[in-house]
């Protein structure tokens, strides 16, 4: 690697709990969530020049078809936000539309590369970007701009990446419609009526937007014997496990199937900061 080339990793974000506490006058939802960084990570290489190239390294051949190109790419938007130029090679391991914050973490890596830690700049790029700039473990509130660090805990998970992509805006719209339909006040803390066993107020709405999610939830549940939780607005599901249950890095990917196709169960551990060595392994 040349002296003027920099490589950073962009860890996925796992939302362990997500409660909607209200809605602002501009329609943005207020939340209270616990988020952690995990060692499933994209990798960005910065070098002199311009342009963004994307290398598809998503496990199981799930692809990067929903990663936008050009000016809409979050890496490009982040470069513009900090007034910097670079040729960026993006090695994608986090699938788009999985609720794992892959694009937000990529944008956060650009901010770290540029030496920008301002959370207002991060928030303008997306509600998950402030957390991804800080990384580790945090309580996240407001519309994502309040990031209170929590003590690091070494935790382990099985994360199911399935061949579905869920649009976050559609899930929030379905959440609002459920609140109106069920007669709940979405502006009131706890007024969602969806505080299910997962601790994720968006889960029921995501299942309405993409009913096939239920089949993947049940498949992972049967595979692990545990109740899966939805990652943010989906489509990834996860269960927590003991660290000793994770396989070694040489393990072959474990593939699960439903009538919707093939998914991959990834082994993941929490990491203590926003830059982490990528793991990207899969397991039974």
92 included as an active-site residue: no
| Residue in 39, 106, 128, 194 annotated catalytic | 128
- First-last CA distance in the chain: 35
| Residue in 13, 106, 192, 194 annotated catalytic | 13
Q: Give the other-Cβ count within 10 Å of 127's Cβ.
A: 19
Q: What are phi and psi of 235, to 5 degrees?
A: -105, -5
13 included as an active-site residue: yes
- The per-residue b/e assignment along 205-236, b for 16 or more CB within 10 angstroms, e otherwise, is bbbebbebbeebbebbeebbeeebbbbbbbbb
Cα→Cα distances 248→57, 145, 256, 284, Å: 19, 36, 19, 11
By C-alpha distance, which of 157, 161, 159, 160 is closest to 242?
Answer: 157
Q: Return the biggest CA–CA distance within the chain.
A: 60
CB 119 within 8 A of CB 145: yes
DSSP code at position 94? S
Cα→Cα distances 89→9, 42, 53, 84, Å: 12, 10, 5, 15
Question: What positions carry a catalytic annotation?
Answer: 13, 128
């Amino acid at each position: 690697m040349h002296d003027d080339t920099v490589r950073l990793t962009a860890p996925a974000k796992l939302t362990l709990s997500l409660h909607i506490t209200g809605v602002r006058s501009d329609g943005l939802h207020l939340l209270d969530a616990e988020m952690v960084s995990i060692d499933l990570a994209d990798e960005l290489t910065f070098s002199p020049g311009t342009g963004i190239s994307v290398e598809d390294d998503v496990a199981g051949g799930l692809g990067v078809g929903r990663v936008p190109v050009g000016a809409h790419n979050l890496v490009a938007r982040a470069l513009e936000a900090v007034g910097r130029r670079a040729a960026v090679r993006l090695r994608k391991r986090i699938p788009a539309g999985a609720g794992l914050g892959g694009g937000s973490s990529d944008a956060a890596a650009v901010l770290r590369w540029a030496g920008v830690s301002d959370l207002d700049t991060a928030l303008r790029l997306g509600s998950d970007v402030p957390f991804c700039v800080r990384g580790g473990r945090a309580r996240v509130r407001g519309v994502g701009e309040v990031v209170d660090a929590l003590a690091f805990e070494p935790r382990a998970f099985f994360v199911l990446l399935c061949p579905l992509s869920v649009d976050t805006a559609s899930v929030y719209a379905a959440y609002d419609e459920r609140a109106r339909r069920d007669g709940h006040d979405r502006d009131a803390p706890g007024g969602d009526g969806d505080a299910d066993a997962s601790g994720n107020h968006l889960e029921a709405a995501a299942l309405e937007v993409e009913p096939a999610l239920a089949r993947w939830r049940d498949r992972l549940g049967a595979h692990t014997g545990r109740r899966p939780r939805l990652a943010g607005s989906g489509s990834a599901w996860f269960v927590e496990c003991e660290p000793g249950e994770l396989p070694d890095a040489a393990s072959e990917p474990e593939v699960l199937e439903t009538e919707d196709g093939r998914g991959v169960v990834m082994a993941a551990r929490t990491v203590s900061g926003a830059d982490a060595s990528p793991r990207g392994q899969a397991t039974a």
